Structure 1
């Protein structure tokens, strides 16, 4: 028995899984650069959210066409890759269709896999047409030029090639079964790939074996390549949608978190016995930065949000500021956060585990003040996201930094705050003059 193919398969599998593990560890490291936040309350609600949103795709079907197509691709990708278990066992031990002992159940599974593969190919074709021919508006926004557009298409090409290899492998296998070729036991139902048999009918057994083996090897290598491509792609949501929906913020939308440092300062000002000029107590922690100017000022859930974003653009298409031509795009906020986080991670890698100041930050170098102040804080982007990403929380933290650290609020906001301070209301009228309109 020639064990060289089994050894080669084991080496390829180890390399593929090893590189994937390395990148996942880097991903976790980058996410942990964020500040700590506790998202473990109300576990029952969190499990419910994850089940409905990540597993059940509840928010995807709000837009029926894209939602149904996505569910087909999602289910097809997950269910068809169950066969990868069989492929790995066959590859390591030199067997062929090791699970065929299940008889009719095995035939049902293979048949279901093939029907799903066909549906995935059709769905991906429609997705490609929507992106590249119909050019739906949310797919051609400025932030979607270059790599984001290419990345989306690469994923679609990957999925089509993997499904075609799967069907080609099965068709050649089925033809070899019909020819009573040794090693190719009669097992499985092939409701889709059987229509490819006329392409193989005149080929010799040796050529068919080459085709079947080539498709088998390319299929499993393609899956490993796709798995490792995820880290560099928007399709990380395949992995992160589940934790992202579990750790989502359960507080009412619009509820603003209080800063402990600010609360402490306010209490100090209201304490008549406190000495505002007293020297800092030795060992007392220095107050943290108010708000966020860079990714390390955000919490780890916000950083995970950035990696989870699939760039679908539902948030941006629902954003009233974006609809009226303003510069803000919630999708771009998430993409910029992820890009800056990746830049920080590469900096740490290049400097042996330490971050060396590169003179950049998320604010200004990636996200402009104009974008931040265009937001109406309506939460439409948060409501629209299928996987509970919260662009608004990042916007608000960066606004907080501008106001509380740099005193860089827009003139209109400064005027309003001055009016509240002086007049007890946002309007520039003395309290005694507010009812003058009655006499007009």
Structure 2
């Protein structure tokens, strides 16, 4: 019975990490359904992006209030993980505050953890008020109804509960240290929980031990639950922000990716010695599909983008089409892509690892043509995203499919392209008159 808590802890840890590993394998499999593409820019440029944007939170602080609150939560969860490491070691070996031998350094660490935990708790409360009391417009768009809205709130509740459990655990521990209880070595500084410990004055040693152990177990089990909740939540960006910014766009935002198959056709047309009527070789590969109609036509980087989306809505709030009442929401483009990819993944699992067409696709079943053609391609959404997500690339690939595979461009665009072909300009002017504007 002496080692029963240690055995139970190891089992809980194994189940939590095992389930997490399973979800990571599913995530990796789904992303690998996309096309493999070459990375943009050099490694140095990509590492620079990751250091500035993911680690340095460069684009978060563009909006100071939300940025500062996010930095507090970000630092809090990263630094407090040192405390999680101590809990895991203690849980496995039955020790208590294994890092106490660090002495004054440990005092500083625990004090820092406590101050950050309090700041995280305050930030979470402010975040909840911004969403639910102030009702900021970007959190109440149509795509944020149902699960996305509940998910955002549940994450805040989980974070708040974890911080309260951490401080409660420390408060009971501090009280036990003051009582000289066995196994509770006097170590650490407790600027926040020492104040909470005042409420526990007069409690018996057995009551304090029960509170400390309960908070300890609930805290670590809550962390394991949160770790596995990430896969089903917008908070997956905690894990994916770093690889996403590393693989993010480096070239100028206005640069357009050319299709290799189209480049080859143009090169053939421009080659005076080539025979444009020559039949393709028998073993020649069929031409690649132009653009994208489903998630398998997108690149792995675009699918990684979809899973990394934080649903913060900065892209949608900056989108001029959305601001003028158009149906387009760049955030919805990413959410729809992720939802369709998850649907495909579930059907692959149901079919024992193979994909069978299901009569559905990203185009029309998730993203409408009206949304795609509402985009002005201004890149405001790309510039606004704090983790280098590129909704415009998905929109443009799906437009390519409509134009080049289905000849389904809007009438206005067909008229413009016809004018360019016939008149050398998008307007219906005679070629002789196309430069008359400069004389006016």
Decide whether the 8 Å contact of 2:54 with 2:242 is kept in 1. Answer: yes
Consecutive unaligned residues in structure 1, runs of 5 or more: none
Q: Which moved more, 1:12-21 or 1:264-273?
A: 264-273
Against the structure 1 CA distance between its residues 439 and 330, is the aligned structure 2 distance closer, same or farther, given a 3 Å change threshold?
closer
Give the structure 1 partner of residue 390 of structure 2: 390
Mapping 1:404-423, distance limit 5 Å: 404-423=404-423
Give the structure 1 partner of residue 74 of structure 2: 74
Once the two structures are TM-superposed, the CA of residue 256 in structure 1 deviates from its matched residue by: 1.1
Give the structure 2 partner of residue 202 of structure 1: 202
Give the structure 2 partner of residue 33 of structure 1: 33
1:254-284 Cα deviation digits (max 9, x unpaired): 2111111112222334456655555431221
Mapping 1:272-291, distance limit 5 Å: 274=274, 278-291=278-291
Cα distance in 1 for residues equivalent to 2:389 and 2:111: 37
Decide whether the 8 Å contact of 2:80 with 2:113 is kept in 1. Answer: yes
Cα distance in 2 for residues equivalent to 1:388 and 1:90: 39
Cα distance in 2 for residues equivalent to 1:162 and 1:439: 71
Q: Report the 3-state secondary structure (helix = DSSP H, G, I; strand = E; otherwise coil) of the residue aligned with 1:81.
A: helix
Against the structure 1 CA distance between its residues 279 and 105, is the aligned structure 2 distance closer, same or farther, given a 3 Å change threshold?
same
Cα distance in 1 for residues equivalent to 2:437 and 2:121: 67
Cα distance in 2 for residues equivalent to 1:220 and 1:24: 20
Mapping 1:83-94, distance limit 5 Å: 83-94=83-94
Q: Report the 3-state secondary structure (helix = DSSP H, G, I; strand = E; otherwise coil) of the residue aligned with 2:92.
A: helix
Cα distance in 2 for residues equivalent to 1:436 and 1:60: 48
Q: Which moved more, 1:25-34 or 1:265-274?
A: 265-274
Cα distance in 2 for residues equivalent to 1:93 and 1:302: 44
Cα distance in 2 for residues equivalent to 1:16 and 1:439: 74
Q: Say whether residues 1:187 and 2:187 are aligned partners.
A: yes
Give me the TM-score of the superposition, normalised by structure 2.
0.97
Structure 1 outlier segments of 4+, above 6 Å:
436-440
1:175-220 Cα deviation digits (max 9, x unpaired): 1111111011101111000111232112111111111000000000
Give the structure 1 partner of residue 344 of structure 2: 344
Give the structure 2 partner of residue 176 of structure 1: 176
Once the two structures are TM-superposed, the CA of residue 47 in structure 1 deviates from its matched residue by: 1.1
Give the structure 1 partner of residue 141 of structure 2: 141
Give the structure 2 partner of residue 368 of structure 1: 368
Against the structure 1 CA distance between its residues 273 and 216, is the aligned structure 2 distance closer, same or farther, given a 3 Å change threshold?
same
Cα distance in 1 for residues equivalent to 2:310 and 2:384: 13
Q: Report the 3-state secondary structure (helix = DSSP H, G, I; strand = E; otherwise coil) of the residue aligned with 1:407.
A: coil
Mapping 1:145-294, distance limit 5 Å: 145-271=145-271, 274=274, 278-294=278-294
Cα distance in 2 for residues equivalent to 1:263 and 1:437: 34
Once the two structures are TM-superposed, the CA of residue 295 in structure 1 deviates from its matched residue by: 0.5
1:147-174 Cα deviation digits (max 9, x unpaired): 0010000000000000000000000011
Against the structure 1 CA distance between its residues 436 and 319, is the aligned structure 2 distance closer, same or farther, given a 3 Å change threshold?
closer
Cα distance in 2 for residues equivalent to 1:55 and 1:273: 53
Give the structure 1 partner of residue 359 of structure 2: 359
Query: What CA RMSD, in Å, does the superposition of the two structures yield over aligned residues?
Result: 1.5
Cα distance in 1 for residues equivalent to 2:266 and 2:162: 60
Decide whether the 8 Å contact of 2:40 with 2:248 is kept in 1. Answer: no
Give me the TM-score of the superposition, normalised by structure 1.
0.97
Consecutive unaligned residues in structure 2, runs of 5 or more: none
Cα distance in 2 for residues equivalent to 1:380 and 1:246: 20
